[in-house]
Structures are given as C-alpha cells and as structure tokens.
Amino acid sequence: MEKNLISIYDLTVREIKEILEFAIDIKKKHLKGQEVLTSGLLKGKILGLIFQKPSTRTRVSFEAGMKQLGGETILLDIKESQLSRGETIADTAKVISKYLNGIVVRGEHKFLLEFAKHALIPVINGLTEVTHPCQILSDLLTISESGKNFKNLKLVFVGDGNNICNSLMFAAGKLGIDFIACCPAGYEPGAQIIEKATKDAKKSGGSIDLFHNPAQSVKDADVIYTDTWVSMGQETEVKKRLHDFKPYQVNKELLKYAKQDCVVLHCLPAHRGQEITSEVLDGKNSIIWEQAENRLHVQKAILILWLGNKKNKMRR
C-alpha cells in the first residue's frame, strides 16, 4: 500500500481487492458478534480528523470504527488551531505527525495534497471536491455483495460529474467495469479524469463512456448510481442546477429501461424528490442502506491496513 490513501486511481487492482476482502472478513465478525477478534488491533493508536466540510457517514464510521478496533480519535477544528492564525499546512502536518498515528482529511483537494506531502503519518482522503475513495470502496463492496461481478458489469452514474463520478470512473477503469457517466451538457467529469480512467479501462477490458440521455444510458444497466445535484460549495448555483438536472432524476420510469435486477446506489445524503424519488430510494432495487452500513466495515479495513501492523493478521 502507498503511505497515503488519496485516490482510487493510486491503488492497484490487487490492493483494491485486498481492502474489500479484509472488509468482508471484518463485517462477518461484526455480524457474528465476534468483535473480540478485532477489538485490540489498533489499541494505543490515535487517529486525527480534520473536517473542513460537514459530515455524517464519514465521520461517524471512522470514529466508531477506530473505537471498535481499540483506538481513539481526535477532532481537529481548524478554526481553533494555529492554521487559522497563519501557520502553514506543512508546519502543521509535520508537528501533528509527531502526535498521531494517522489522519483523515475532509476538505479542499489542494489542502489534502499539501498536508499529505509533508505528513510523516498516513493521510486518508475523507472527501474532497475531486475524489472520495473511501465511499467508492464501500460501493464496490456493496455491489459485490449484491451478487454482481465487476467484469462485464454495466454501471451508470446519472447526475453531476462530481467527486463520486470521478472516483467511480477510476474504479471502473481499474476493475474492467463498463461505466457510463450520464450528465447534462457542461456538467461532465474533467478531461484529465476521463483520460486516466480510459487508459486503465483499455488494460482491464472495461469501458468509459459519456451520455446525455438518461433513458439511453441506463438501458440494460446492472447498477444505477446517483448523487446530489448541488454539492458542498455550490449553494449559489441551486436554482440553475435544479433546472438543468431535472430530466436526470432516478425514478420508477427510468428504472424500466434497466435490467430487472438492476440495483440502485446513492452515497447520501439524498434530496428526496430531486435526484432520486423516495419510491426508488426505499424500493426493492435499492441497496442504499446496505451501502451506507458498509462504510463502517470498509473504514475499519482501511484503518487496519494503513495504521496497523500489517504483519499481524486478524485472529480467526
């Protein structure tokens, strides 16, 4: 593994599969009430959390996961740190590295990269405007649990070409998934993201495509994924975005074009009645709640692999 977890793009296929296999094992023990087998793996370890943006699932899953593994967490409020008074990111990263065993950063991508450049401990991306690797690893676990294979899988993202779309595209390129980003004109993923994912897809046997027609894009889809139309920091664009994305709602009518056993994903929070209807979110095709649960198990796998002693295997 790399020292840091910044992007799915930086992981090899083998590493992605290792994280997923580890998460499956952790989840099995969790569901069987065998927490004693994992409870001490990070005893004495302390994880820092820097959250420049609001969070529910990322923060709670990392905090709960760390404590279930025997470790502790410290929430670092930038407004109450010397960063708010002009201390450089580099100096902060160097000092914090002397106190902690790892850190999760959720905020601006340039802040994350600068922090990771100077930190001496593992830095984990808890979400930036560019990528969200922890979320997508949970998504991959959820898709796998639904009984679907990554090879020859048709995964369609309907909505904004945002950090989720970028990360899904990277994962698809690595794993041989046939991926379609269905976005309104002007909201497509960046050219560099597409280029990187396409290069990987050519090696893995997958494909990366862009569509603008939702019904056409989800035809025979195995997985449909959507996300909010207005991400954090885009609040001034609400009126325009709601207008531009209106035809891209994931609803019962759109699902008719997909395979009967198509599953629906949403990273949450959901804006019911906008990007997805309640009928679909709570419907038989939805595996959204399982997807949310899996954040905990994947986070624990990440924490063990990045913060723990990798030579020590979990007690079977």
Is position 295 annotated as part of the catalytic site?
A: yes
Of the listed 165, 182, 262, 267, which one is catalytic?
267
Instruction: Indicate the residue type of 14.
Output: R
**Is 274 flagged in the annotation as binding?**
no
**Is 282 flagged in the annotation as binding?**
no
Q: How would DSSP label each residue in 243-268?
A: HHHGGG-B-HHHHTTS-TT-EEEE-S
Of the listed 52, 68, 106, 262, which one is catalytic?
106
**Is 162 flagged in the annotation as binding?**
no
Give the single-character DSSP code of 162.
S
**Is 14 flagged in the annotation as binding?**
no
**Is 106 flagged in the annotation as binding?**
yes
Residue among 104, 121, 19 nearest 55 (CA): 104
- 26/296 Cα distance (integer angstroms): 10
**Is 267 flagged in the annotation as binding?**
yes
Is position 220 annotated as part of the catalytic site?
A: no
Residue among 247, 285, 253, 252 nearest 266 (CA): 285
**Is 231 flagged in the annotation as binding?**
yes
**Is 132 flagged in the annotation as binding?**
yes
Residue 265: strand pairing partners = 225
Is position 227 annotated as part of the catalytic site?
A: yes
Between β-strands 154-158 and 223-226, what pairing exists: parallel, antiparallel or unpaired?
parallel
Is position 316 annotated as part of the catalytic site?
A: no
Of the listed 135, 249, 274, 299, which one is catalytic?
135
**Triad 14, 17, 19: Cα angle to 5°:** 110
**Is 57 flagged in the annotation as binding?**
yes
Is position 200 annotated as part of the catalytic site?
A: no
**Is 85 flagged in the annotation as binding?**
no
Residue 223: strand pairing partners = 155, 263
**Is 73 flagged in the annotation as binding?**
no
Of the listed 68, 132, 165, 222, which one is catalytic?
132
**Is 59 flagged in the annotation as binding?**
no
Of the listed 241, 266, 295, 297, which one is catalytic?
295
Residue among 290, 174, 183 nearest 229 (CA): 183
CB atoms within 10 A of CB 278: 11
Give the single-character DSSP code of 286.
B
Of the listed 178, 227, 249, 297, which one is catalytic?
227
Is position 272 annotated as part of the catalytic site?
A: no
**Is 169 flagged in the annotation as binding?**
no
Residues making up the binding site = 55-58, 82, 106, 132-135, 163, 227, 231-232, 267-268, 295
Residues making up the binding site for L-ornithine = 163, 227, 231-232
Query: What is the set of active-site residues?
Result: 106, 132, 135, 227, 267, 295
Residues making up the binding site for carbamoyl phosphate = 55-58, 82, 106, 132-135, 267-268, 295
